[in-house]
Structure 1
Amino acid sequence: MSYLPLDQYQRKWIFTHQSMPVSEQDLDAIKPMDQARSAQLWKDNISAQSPDAERLSSSDWPMKVDNWSESVDWMSAWESDDEQLPQEVLDYIDWQDDVTVYFCYEKYNIIETKWSTFKKCWKNFLFYDDGPILIGRRRNEALWFADNGQVKLGKRN
């Protein structure tokens, strides 16, 4: 099995916190990967040598300035009562709701879900905002969230 039951996930509380409850249906669609699968996905899609976003090397695609087209504020939307991702993000990521996405916190901590679930629960995912990168299966677009409240919009190569 390459997923952990949500009950065994170290950060389960971000999806069960009383202030931001997640529906049962959405909880079922949030699939933390086990360490081995996370490590392989990270190696294949983010970095072969760096364990997290803080230690990416200059040869890793996220560190190449040309891969990022703009940076927009996500923090004000996160702090507001509006449930929607910032409009600039929604305009940039034009994926169907059933696209599989990977929210990559670091090498051993990746969650697989659907774009529709991420859009609904994005505030929960961003309780931890220490450089996570969102990528989609067989998609070039990427989002890189920073703890300064900005998200970079870009393409991976």
Structure 2
Amino acid sequence: MKIALASDHAAFELKAELAAWLAEQGHEVADLGTNSADSVDYPDYGYKLAEHVAAGNSERGIALCGSGIGISIAANRHPAIRCALVSEPVSAGFSRTHNDANVIALGARLIGIEMAKACVTAFLTAPFAGDRHVRRVEKLSQLPQDA
């Protein structure tokens, strides 16, 4: 699978570890930066990842920052992106089965490498359940109508 990763300075080490691990698993990895501890703005990398995945350059994306919150907000500004902030594998799996998430966000200051790997594994292996979830997922890319 083609997987893109992007992070800010707070998560560049976790991103590098995950990128190496994913490559060892046989995935094609696109590292969209950043690549140092020099301070950068997470929205820039969230937007870059969102554009990359939305354009079809990678099937899935992994967004990382200190908490995962800021970069997930940035990625979700793109209407074709469904980015779920996760911190354990159950929610990572549900992000796929129920929400057809194409990006997950992780907080490097909140989880370690083994939990991050467990989340990524669940995200990459869980299939979208379809059925009643299709209608709901389609609404995620539309402006809200009167409820």
* TM-score, scaled to structure 1: 0.28
Name which structure has the greater RCO, CA cutoff 8 Å, separation 6+: 1
* TM-score, scaled to structure 2: 0.29
Bigger fraction of residues in strand? 1
Bigger fraction of residues in helix? 2
